[in-house]
Structure 1
Amino acid sequence: MKKRALGMALALAFAWGTAAPVFAAPSQVQAQRPVQVQEKQAAKTLTGVRFGTSEERERVVLDLTTLPAYEVRTENDGQRIVLFLAGAKSQVVQPEISGSMVESVRVSAVPQGVKIVLDLAAPASYEVKTLANPARLFVDVQREYETVSEEEPAPGLKLSTLKRLDARGRLTGWVLEADPRRYRAVPALAKGMVPGRATVSAIADMTKAAAAINASYFAPSGDILGLLKMDGTVVGTTYFRRSAVGFAADGRAFFGPIDYSGTVTLGRQSLPVGGVDAERGEDSLVTSNRYSGPTTRTNEYGQEYVVKGGRVAAICPADSTIPKDGLVISVHGKAQEAFAPVKVGDAARVTEEIGEPWANLPTVIGAGPMLVKDGAVYVTEEEEEFPPDIARGRAPRTAFGVTADGRYLLAVVDGRQSHSIGCTLQEMAEFMMQFGAVQAINFDGGGSSALVVAGELENSPSDGEERAVGSALVLLPR
């Protein structure tokens, strides 16, 4: 794969040492040296101060004749690092050091040792390390940086990896840009049906996808939570007005709010649909089509009407076989009582309303909230009534967007880990815009966030392994 680094690191001109505690004595290091060498170096003299920088850190190196015991502390709300070298002397003229994070280094003789003060531009994480031979003590101060590397996994695909450190913390994210003239974006169910769960990697393998990301929200069983439309058939419903992305046959993507309204009429009685390819609840009515597997898997506490050719073909107590060219209407409680007079042969009609443009699109994925609209941040978590675990705080995130010229953007950021703190919804919107999104929607995130490209998992899911999910958005070659 072709790679091009956009951020270049400056190499450090000195060796790394081994980690040392903040309060350290060098006795174990010195014990490995000949006794006569210890005696000659007993002065513990600071002979030089040097400075180096890389894209991730700035380093102050203290050259010593012998490693002394030392103490380190922070002052000025973390904007100053102070080291005390016990029993040491200094031969150093005041060093002239200035970096983006380390603004100055001051050396002074104090009673019983030497004090070194590092003044920082802002509070930052740091490490103090030692090297025994030659004797060195050095301070690594983390600096703000951002790098983006790119590779081309296949023709029409560009994978960008972003690594960033700023005052908020570390962030690592991936964006796959895809040419819609070469790839179709379609949803895929975990087991090829509802319910069911599988990892994004397994779904990508099953569909032979060039790439895949997790998509819909889902229940523990794998039932889809939100509207999902596949090949013109609704296979999941939403109970809120939520955001969705839909795809026309030519690959154009459409974004906006969507809701669902369904009605079942059997004989002379009509009732609203409570769910599609979903678990039947108390006093409710749900419909099951071919995407729900071979049978409804329901219990004996309801009634089911098998519909074929616009008529009731059979009435069953439970776990009915779902016809490939029809559907099953399953009722419980009050809904069951309402349909009690229905007989085999009665007329059956199901109407579904999802509005425009969704009714004319073969594929729709409902998730949300919106992140970007018409090239500007447009986060709609309050309007869409998302709970706090989705709407608030930083977390691993998954999103889908398009560029001004219609290219797809499949994005994932890691979170809840040392290498990446994750994003708020606002930050995820800004992340998408950084890679050219003019429209973008949030997908399920948290431990579900996963991006698979060319059969390889790119990110590091926060569970420590891939979570089994209900569906994925896959890219299939045209």
Structure 2
Amino acid sequence: MKLKKILTGLMVMAVALSLTLYDTAPVEGATGNSIQKSVTAEKVIKGTELKNIRVGGDAKHTRIVLDLSSAKKFNYAFENNNTRLVINIDGVYTAMKAAPDTNRGAVKDLILATYGDTVQLIVDMKVPVPVKVYPLKNPDRVVIDLINEYEEETSNQVEAGLLYGKYVRFDSRGMLTAYMLEVDPQKFDIRMVLPGGEVTQGLGKLSTIAQKYNAVAAVNGGYFDWSGTFLIGDIRINGTTVGMVPEERSGLINKKDGRYDVGQASYSGTVSINGQGISFWGVNSPRGKDAVILYNRLYGTHTGTNEFGKEFVIRHNSVAAINNGNSEIPPDGAVVSVHGQSLEYFKNVRVGDRAEIIESFGEAIPDNVDFYGAGPQLVKNGRVDVTSYNEGIANDIANGRAPRTAVGIKPNGHVILMVVDGRQSHSIGATLPEMGQLLIKYGADRGVNFDGGGSSEMVINNQIVTSPSGGTERKIGNALVVVRK
């Protein structure tokens, strides 16, 4: 009986001793789950203490300071595509329950956690930025420096006459990532091409288009309809009109002598039969009510129209045939497709009548000079000059930030192809004035905007160097390819 009392007393003493050595209160960790400390009272008294976490800095820098009672080794690593910094300090305790709230510069949040005798600090960043982590003494502390504003440029020569550059900027607006190709027109041609060689062959991925045309590099081109059946803009390829819009639109001029320029086109087109002329409503586009549409060999083999109209096949300045719909387009001619009330102008036309098609892209664009239209203008005479309103550019293109593609011309005649990523953590996209500023930064004194959004992309040597905002390549209606002379 006495022995039993002695054993019982020893067990009570053991439990009491255990409670004095271990703190079993829950502590919030990085995930919010309760964990259990196993630090003895002796260690807490004699160990290194994390006394405070301080946050400061200015517009260009953010500094986080961990104040320690004595020096301790630490380790750190980056996670989540370099947007999270995790610092661990062993042999440390702290009475702090949480890190200070902060949303400063590049820092989105600070998270403090303890795991046994390890203290962990997580620095969540809005975007990846340059970070330096280092110890300081007198007093002992660990310092984390983040740069809130910076610019970084890299460049390399793809081959003679073709320079590739990447530009990364971070400031109060966020992070922007841009890609640049400088092309020497004495060594390379820049051409607008269609995915399948004809409009009606639809859309294609930029990487596939680049391979098809054996291009060293390529970027997306002008605007197009989602159906893939027509282009939107004043466009002339190899002397043949591909599309038109009623407004004056800016674009890239491909001159006969191999030089390039930026200018504005103003398309006009008429068909004159027996001396009576009528203007085209569109070129290589769907025929609507009462419309007069011109179809040529770049549209495809047939017009694809229904039977509720009339079509006049023109060859060698003469009406070669008259059909109701879906006419074959001659390689050496064109088809004028007419519907509704406009048929009144053609009621007396007969096969064999004299017919002449007259087209012009305006005074700034000589005949037979290729023109790759998109718009608006971004740069003129070395200054940002955005002409969205005058060119009738839609608000979803003219306003706000987006992935963008643009073309600029330097005073020495070199061509700048520029693509900016957008709608992603590494790049917020650019406004149209910012695209103009980027072109000027790389030496352009003239510049024009091309299609953007999910279409914006750059390919070099069959490799996609940009990050399309949709996560994958979007199929597009045309592209600008860089090919060796």
TM-score of the pair, normalised by structure 2: 0.77
Provide the C-alpha distance between the structure 2 equivalents of 1:139 and 1:366, rounded to a whole number of angstroms: 47
Task: State the shift of 1:139 in Å.
Answer: 4.3
- Counterpart of 1:137 (choices 121, 124, 136) is 121
- Do 2:44 and 2:93's aligned partners in 1 also have CA atoms closer than 8 Å? no
Deviations 1:5-28 (A, max 9, x none): xxxxxxxxxxxxxxx999776853
The two structures, once aligned, show a CA RMSD in angstroms of 3.1
The corresponding residue for 2:206 is 200
The corresponding residue for 1:238 is 245
- Do 1:246 and 1:361's aligned partners in 2 also have CA atoms closer than 8 Å? no
- Do 1:245 and 1:256's aligned partners in 2 also have CA atoms closer than 8 Å? yes
- Partner of 2:199: helix, strand, or coil? coil
Provide the C-alpha distance between the structure 2 equivalents of 1:114 and 1:450, rounded to a whole number of angstroms: 47
2:194 counterpart of 1:210 = no
The corresponding residue for 1:41 is 44
User: What amino acid is the match of 1:397?
Assistant: R
Alignment of 1:322-401 (within 5 A): 322-360=329-367, 362-401=369-408
The corresponding residue for 1:416 is 423
Provide the C-alpha distance between the structure 2 equivalents of 1:314 and 1:252, rounded to a whole number of angstroms: 40
Alignment of 1:88-107 (within 5 A): none
Give the greater-gyration-radius structure (CA). Answer: 2
- Counterpart of 1:184 (choices 181, 186, 189) is 189
Provide the C-alpha distance between the structure 2 equivalents of 1:260 and 1:173, rounded to a whole number of angstroms: 33
User: What amino acid is the match of 1:46?
Assistant: L
- Do 2:48 and 2:68's aligned partners in 1 also have CA atoms closer than 8 Å? no
Q: Which runs of 5+ in 1 are unaligned?
A: 1-19, 66-87, 91-111
CA gap of 1:287–1:114, structure 2 versus 1, over 3 A, is closer
CA gap of 1:234–1:22, structure 2 versus 1, over 3 A, is farther
CA gap of 1:125–1:52, structure 2 versus 1, over 3 A, is closer
The corresponding residue for 2:473 is 466
Provide the C-alpha distance between the structure 1 equivalents of 2:31 and 2:62, rounded to a whole number of angstroms: 22
- Do 1:63 and 1:135's aligned partners in 2 also have CA atoms closer than 8 Å? no
- Partner of 1:359: helix, strand, or coil? coil
Q: Which runs of 5+ in 2 are unaligned?
A: 1-26, 71-91, 125-145
CA gap of 1:156–1:37, structure 2 versus 1, over 3 A, is farther
- Do 1:295 and 1:319's aligned partners in 2 also have CA atoms closer than 8 Å? yes
TM-score of the pair, normalised by structure 1: 0.78
2:269 counterpart of 1:287 = no
- Do 2:382 and 2:445's aligned partners in 1 also have CA atoms closer than 8 Å? yes
The corresponding residue for 2:444 is 437
User: What amino acid is the match of 2:459?
Assistant: V
Task: State the shift of 1:49 in Å.
Answer: 7.1
2:302 counterpart of 1:302 = no
Deviations 1:410-469 (A, max 9, x none): 111011111111011111111111111111100011111111111111111112211111
User: What amino acid is the match of 1:356?
Assistant: E
2:248 counterpart of 1:248 = no
- Do 1:59 and 1:138's aligned partners in 2 also have CA atoms closer than 8 Å? no
- Do 2:62 and 2:105's aligned partners in 1 also have CA atoms closer than 8 Å? no
- Do 1:247 and 1:361's aligned partners in 2 also have CA atoms closer than 8 Å? no
2:155 counterpart of 1:155 = no
Alignment of 1:77-96 (within 5 A): none
Alignment of 1:19-58 (within 5 A): 27-28=34-35, 35=38, 40-41=43-44, 45-46=49-50, 58=63
- Do 1:413 and 1:422's aligned partners in 2 also have CA atoms closer than 8 Å? yes
CA gap of 1:145–1:347, structure 2 versus 1, over 3 A, is same
Count of matched residue pairs: 410
Provide the C-alpha distance between the structure 1 equivalents of 2:218 and 2:225, rounded to a whole number of angstroms: 20
- Do 1:194 and 1:291's aligned partners in 2 also have CA atoms closer than 8 Å? yes
The corresponding residue for 1:315 is 322
Task: Out of 249-258 and 230-239, give the one that drifted further.
Answer: 249-258
CA gap of 1:417–1:38, structure 2 versus 1, over 3 A, is farther
The corresponding residue for 2:409 is 402
CA gap of 1:392–1:206, structure 2 versus 1, over 3 A, is same
- Counterpart of 2:463 (choices 452, 456, 459) is 456
Task: State the shift of 1:355 in Å.
Answer: 2.0
Provide the C-alpha distance between the structure 1 equivalents of 2:171 and 2:28, rounded to a whole number of angstroms: 25
The corresponding residue for 1:128 is 110
- Partner of 2:159: helix, strand, or coil? coil
The corresponding residue for 2:151 is 146
- Counterpart of 1:278 (choices 285, 292, 297) is 285
CA gap of 1:21–1:355, structure 2 versus 1, over 3 A, is farther
User: What amino acid is the match of 1:216?
Assistant: G
Deviations 1:264-290 (A, max 9, x none): 112343211111111111101111111
CA gap of 1:21–1:411, structure 2 versus 1, over 3 A, is farther
User: What amino acid is the match of 1:164?
Assistant: R
- Partner of 2:212: helix, strand, or coil? helix
- Do 2:52 and 2:96's aligned partners in 1 also have CA atoms closer than 8 Å? no
Provide the C-alpha distance between the structure 2 equivalents of 1:314 and 1:52, rounded to a whole number of angstroms: 80
The corresponding residue for 1:76 is none
- Do 1:61 and 1:139's aligned partners in 2 also have CA atoms closer than 8 Å? no
Percent identity reads 39
- Partner of 2:153: helix, strand, or coil? strand
- Do 2:105 and 2:148's aligned partners in 1 also have CA atoms closer than 8 Å? no
Provide the C-alpha distance between the structure 2 equivalents of 1:372 and 1:422, rounded to a whole number of angstroms: 18
Provide the C-alpha distance between the structure 2 equivalents of 1:21 and 1:273, rounded to a whole number of angstroms: 72
